[in-house]
Amino acid sequence: MNKRWIVFVVVFFTVIHMDSLKAKGDCEQQVILESVRYSYMDDINVIDINNGLLPANDGNWYYYVDGNIDYNFNDVVENPYGWWYVEHGKVRFDFNGVAQNLYGDWLIKNGKVDFSNSGVLKVKSKSFFRGKCNSYDGWYNFVNGKIKKNKTVAQNVNGWWYVDDNGKVDFLYNGIANNKNGNWVIHNGKVNFNYNGLIYDNGVGYYCKNGRLCEDVTNIINIDGEWYYVIKGIVYNSNDPIVAKNENGWWYVGTNGKVDFNYEGVAQNKNGWWYLKNGKVDFDKKMIFTDPKTGINYNIINGKATIIKQKDEWELPVM
């Protein structure tokens, strides 16, 4: 880089009274005082030697405040050539790891922020930020050189990984996690693309194929010999049972999302109340049915149940 030293003339105007130079009547004489200030410049930038990152005769770069090296300075700061990790006032060109500033945690390569790197990378380093020492040890998710601190599923050459809200891979995590591409089955922190079937996470059942939640499935389906009511890939889970259908009929679904083939009684959906026997709506049934649990009488016509209202007392006819 072609550098050359130049001199900037800084002109200070000082107004003084000089009695010996008074002309007719009082007047003020302006005396110009000159001082010089040195800086260096390259082909593009003029750099202030008093503040910021500057080179020294020993080949290192230091952080200056009012012309003095600030040995208490620890940060990631910018100059015209990039962003640099400064430790105890000195740029650490030998540093490779992660360092922090007010804008986040950054991947540093040879002392400089590497904005070109994205993905899950292994890091083991210690660095200083102001008065604090930070330790990084593990696999972290980087986006444009910065640790992305939110829960997601991110990729590297070894697979797809669950990343916690600190931006770090959690190898102990087992369950469901999502990214912009969908919801995924995680085993020991890694997406298991071979998983097919149900997986439960925090009491919720997820129906997955090839390690991914089947969000396109809403139906009563057979999973490992049991029949479940699945809504956008998630097993029905409610305090109230429901009547749901598939191509084989209308079925009684319990609060655990499973069809109960032993159920006889009434249950409802958005279309009304229905009589079910052996867990299935009997659309041919016409009868009076008394619910053994509630004692309520229902009039059943073509499987649909209507409560038979009873008067508490009879009205006498008017004479």
Q: Which of 43, 45, 82, 36 is nearest to 61 (CA)?
A: 82
Q: Do domains 49-116+124-133 and 238-311 have the same CATH topology?
A: yes
Q: Which CATH architecture has domain 149-233?
A: Ribbon (2.10)
Q: How much is the mean pLDDT over the chain?
A: 85
| Contact partners, residue 86, CB within 8 Å, separation at least 6 | 53, 63, 73, 74, 75, 76, 77, 92
Q: Report whether 122 contacts 141 (CB < 8 A).
A: no
pLDDT band at 315 (very low <50, low <70, confident <90, very high): very low
What does the alpha-carbon distance between residue 24 and residue 18 come to, in Å, rounded to a whole number? 13
pLDDT, average across residues 56-73:
94
Residue 131 — very low, low, confident or very high, per pLDDT cuts 50/70/90? confident
Of 303, 306, 291, 206, the C-alpha closest to 249 is 303
Tokens 């930038």, located at residue: 45
pLDDT reported for residue 53: 94
Tens-digit pLDDT profile for residues 288-310: 999 988 899 999 999 999 999 86
User: Which distant-in-sequence residues (6+ apart) come within 8 Å of 147 by Cβ?
Assistant: 98, 104, 105, 106, 107, 140, 141, 167
User: Domain 49-116+124-133 class?
Assistant: mainly beta
pLDDT at 37 over 50: no
Q: What is the arithmetic mean of pLDDT over 171-200? A: 97
Asked if residue 288 lies in contact with residue 311, where contact means CB atoms within 8 angstroms, the answer is no
The pLDDT, as a whole number, for residue 155 is 97
pLDDT band at 137 (very low <50, low <70, confident <90, very high): very high
The pLDDT of residue 269: 96
- Domain range annotation of the chain: 49-116+124-133, 149-233, 238-311
Amino acid at 110: N
Whether the per-residue pLDDT at 7 is higher than 70: the answer is: no
| Res 94 pLDDT > 90 | yes
Q: Which two tokens stand for residue 181?
A: 């591409």
Which of 82-91, 99-108, 286-295 is predicted with the least confidence, judged by mean pLDDT?
286-295
CATH number for the domain formed by residue range(s) 238-311: 2.10.270
Residue 177 — φ and ψ, nearest 5°? -140, 155
Q: What is the b/e burial string over 149-171, where b = at least 16 CB atoms within 10 angstroms of the residue's CB?
A: beebbbebeeebbbbbeebbbbe
pLDDT band per the 50, 70, 90 thresholds, residue 50 = confident
Please compute the mean of the pLDDT values over residues 46-70 and round it to a whole number.
88
pLDDT value for 132? 94
The predicted-structure confidence for 206-248, as pLDDT tens digits, reads as follows: 999 999 999 999 999 999 999 999 999 999 999 999 999 999 9
The percent of residues in the chain predicted with pLDDT above 90, rounded, is 78
In sign, the C-alpha dihedral spanning 36, 37, 40, 44 is negative
Q: Which of the four pLDDT bands, split at 50, 70 and 90, describes residue 152?
A: very high
In the chain, the percentage of residues whose pLDDT exceeds 70 is 82
